[in-house]
Amino acid sequence: MDRISELVDKIEHGRPEDVREDARALVAEVLAYHREGLHRLVATLAADSVSEASRDPLIKSLFDLHEIEVRPPAPLLDARSLTKRTLAAKHDDDAVCELCSAKAGPRHAHLVDVASRALLCACIACSSNFGAATKLRRVPEAVRRAVALGASDAWWATLGVPTGVAFFVPRSASAPSVFYPGLAGATEANVVPEAWQAAVSTHPLLAEIEPEVEALLVDRVDGAREHWIVGVDRCFELVFRIRQAWTGLTGGEGVRDARRAFFSELAREAS
C-alpha cells in the first residue's frame, strides 16, 4: 500500500516525461495488491461459496484476471443412505444394497466411493469385498472418543475453524477437508496442510484416522469439548439431523437438541 501511495504522489507531482512509466507501475502495483487480497479471501471461503460467487460475470472476470481457480462444489452425500441406516435398525426390510439390490439388513455397512465421495449402502456379502486399497472403501463402524484433544485449545485455534461443530476428513492424495453442518447441508473447505500437520504432531492419534472413510468430529458449542473419531457416515448423519431440525436463521432450539441427542448416542455406543 505504501508503494501505491508513493506512485500516486509521483504521478501528481512528477515530471510529465515520467508520468507514463509511473502510471504503468501504479497499475501493476494495484493489480498485484488486488490479486493478493482476492487469493487470501478465496482461501478462507468454502468451495461452495466461491463457486456460487463465480456465477456472477463480473466476479468471474476478476477471478480469471487474477488466475483464481474455482473448484466445483463437493457433491453432497445422498441423505437417503443415512436415513436407511437409522430406519434399518428398526425395520429389517428397509435398506437395499446399492451394489446387488438385495436386502442389506438392519445394521448394513456403508461404502465410500473415493472418486465421487458418494456414500453407498451395502449388504454383508458385498461390503466384505472392499478394503483400504480399492475404489470403494468400507466405512469403519468403530466409535472412539479422542479425550486428549479436549485438554488444550491451542491446536484447535491454529486450524481457524469458524464454527463450533465441524468434522475433518483426511484425504489420500490432498489436504484434509473440513465440513460445517448447516441449513444447506455440509459446506466443505480445505484445511491448511501446515496447520493440520501441526495438530497431528501435537496429537498423534489424528494420524490414525483412516483417509476418506473416517473423520475427526468436533463439538465445541456452548463450552462443549466433544472430540470423536468416527466413520464419515456418522458425520453426515449428524448433518442430516441438523438440516431436518433447522428453523429460522440460526437453527433454533431444534438444532441444539438434535446435536445434543446425537452426541449422547455416540457416548452410549462408546461406553
Residue 232 maps to a domain: yes
Q: Which of 207, 262, 209, 255 is nearest to 232 (CA)?
A: 209
User: Looking at the 3D structure of the chain, how many domains does it have?
Assistant: 3
Q: Which residues contact 115 (CB under 8 A, 6 or more apart)?
A: 135
Domain that holds residue 219: 144-270
Q: What is the pLDDT of residue 265?
A: 92
Q: Are residues 86 and 200 in the same domain?
A: no
Do 175 and 61 share a structural domain? no
Provide the 8-state DSSP code for 163: S
Residue 49: its pLDDT value, please?
66
pTM (whole model) above 0.75: no
What pLDDT does residue 264 have? 93
Hey, what's the cell of 85? 441406516
The reply to whether 195 and 249 lie within a common domain is yes
Same domain, 175 and 251: yes
The answer to whether residues 152 and 248 belong to one domain is yes
Do 233 and 150 fall within a single domain?
A: yes
**Contact present, 216 and 228 (Cβ < 8 Å):** yes
Same domain, 106 and 154: no
Q: Are residues 33 and 96 in the same domain?
A: no
Task: List per-block mean pLDDT (blocks of 10 residues) for the chain, which spans 271 residues.
Answer: 56 58 62 68 63 72 71 50 45 72 82 87 84 79 91 88 91 87 82 91 93 95 92 92 84 90 91 68
What pLDDT score was predicted for residue 25?
A: 62
- Same domain for 95 and 51: no
